[in-house]
């Protein structure tokens, strides 16, 4: 199956519009999963079943540490179908308070030589009211652990961002297993400015208040940050997470950098602007993750995303402090069996390292700072 997909991708898929292929393949997957028994059978065959892969985090028991990152299923159209491919959890979105069409097409371009994707989708989604209605009809049915990723509506002024995020949080809280505040996409003008602590603090506080108003004060709240933050800003976000009692940080979103690519200058220019995902993010995303782990230790759950292509990539993230990992571009290039290969490879690596559980390996490669003062510039003193 893997060889067949690689032949299909090389000979056909790579030459077709990426967004069209995404819609067609996702639609076909949902149709297949709608056949009685298909999703359940596929889930049993492809899902993580090795006992050493079970992860306890964010108040939930995850069957495996690999989840699908936000961006694939923006409107919660098929989380069960996607989970049947073998993911341990699914993150939908990014969802905004108001529906919006996103940026003009083409807005999703592959850089095949780099196993990367450039996207400038612009948070195209049906809006949090409709997504909440769709999730409401899903209630009562068995399904995967579901993360909900929320962002700012493009037309909402930056000084009204708190209310925009709070609206989506209030609507979607009843249906989420955890919620993510996305302030790190490069495709909404001004959004990344909200990563500064001064701007981020009131947004996160407003979302927390909205969760309480929705009757979900305990719902885990996370923030997703960009790989392009300078190190001092990464530290500031880490300190803010501790100060506000956030449950987690997702590191990282896509990058606006084009450094180190093997694609030709003409190919890169033709791909245009937007966020770059995939293998080129590997090193910087790992650096940000390590820095966060040094700063927060195990007091905040870290989820790693960006450049995870192989089981070894996922294993490096776990040893650097990630309790969970996510992928998207890796599946585009690896095919539908990619989640199963990552989980199976992780299980082998866990056993080879002599651990009883993947959780035993979290942060083993990182020395963390003293927990007495998250914002103090102290030297590392203990080993995780």
Instruction: Note if 357 is an active site residue.
Output: no
- Note whether 320 and 291 are within 8 A (CB): no
- Write the burial class of residue 288 (CB in 10 Å: 0-12 exposed, 13-18 middle, 19+ buried): buried
Tokens of 334: 């690896």
Residue 186 confidence (pLDDT) above 70:
yes
- Note whether 296 and 302 are within 8 A (CB): yes
Angle at 178 between CA 326 and CA 160, to 5 degrees: 105
3 state SS of 301: strand
Tell me: the pLDDT tens digits for 83-126? 999 999 999 999 999 999 999 999 999 999 999 999 999 999 99
- Note whether 349 and 52 are within 8 A (CB): no
Q: Model-level pTM?
A: 0.94
> Greater confidence, 249 or 191?
249
Catalytic residue among 185, 263, 277, 285: 185
Tell me: the pLDDT tens digits for 7-60? 998 999 999 999 999 999 999 999 999 999 999 999 999 999 999 999 999 999
């Amino acid at each position: 199956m893997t060889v067949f997909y690689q032949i299909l991708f090389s000979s056909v898929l790579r030459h077709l519009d990426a967004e069209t292929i995404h819609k067609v393949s996702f639609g076909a997957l949902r149709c297949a999963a709608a056949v009685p028994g298909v999703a359940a059978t596929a889930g049993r065959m492809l899902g993580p079943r090795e006992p050493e892969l079970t992860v306890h985090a964010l108040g939930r028991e995850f069957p495996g540490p690999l989840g699908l990152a936000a961006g694939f299923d923006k409107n919660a159209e098929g989380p069960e179908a996607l989970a049947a491919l073998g993911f341990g959890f699914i993150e939908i979105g990014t969802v905004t308070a108001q529906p919006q069409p996103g940026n003009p097409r083409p807005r999703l371009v592959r850089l095949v030589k780099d196993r990367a994707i450039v996207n400038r989708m612009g948070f195209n989604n049906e809006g949090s009211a409709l997504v909440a209605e769709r999730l409401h009809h899903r209630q009562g049915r068995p399904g995967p652990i579901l993360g909900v990723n929320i962002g700012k509506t493009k037309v909402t002024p930056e000084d009204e961002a708190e209310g925009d995020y709070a609206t989506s949080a209030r609507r979607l809280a009843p249906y989420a297993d955890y919620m993510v505040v996305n302030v790190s996409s490069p495709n909404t003008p001004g959004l990344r400015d909200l990563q500064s602590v001064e701007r981020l603090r009131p947004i996160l506080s407003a979302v927390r208040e909205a969760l309480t108003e929705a009757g979900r004060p305990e719902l885990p709240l996370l923030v997703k940050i960009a790989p392009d933050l300078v190190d001092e800003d990464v530290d500031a976000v880490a300190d803010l997470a501790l100060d506000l009692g956030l449950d987690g940080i997702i590191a990282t979103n896509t990058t606006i950098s084009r450094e180190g690519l093997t694609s030709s200058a003409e190919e890169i220019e033709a791909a245009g602007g937007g966020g770059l995902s995939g293998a080129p993010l590997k090193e910087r995303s790992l650096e940000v993750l390590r820095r966060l782990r040094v700063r927060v230790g195990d007091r905040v759950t870290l989820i790693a995303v960006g450049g995870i292509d192989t089981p070894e990539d996922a294993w490096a993230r776990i040893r650097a402090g990630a309790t969970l990992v996510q992928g998207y571009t890796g599946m585009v290039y690896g095919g539908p069996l990619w989640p199963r290969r990552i989980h199976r490879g992780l299980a082998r690596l866990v056993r080879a390292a002599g651990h009883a559980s993947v959780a035993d390996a979290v942060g083993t490669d990182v020395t963390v700072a003293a927990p007495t003062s998250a914002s103090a510039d102290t030297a590392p003193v203990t080993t995780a």
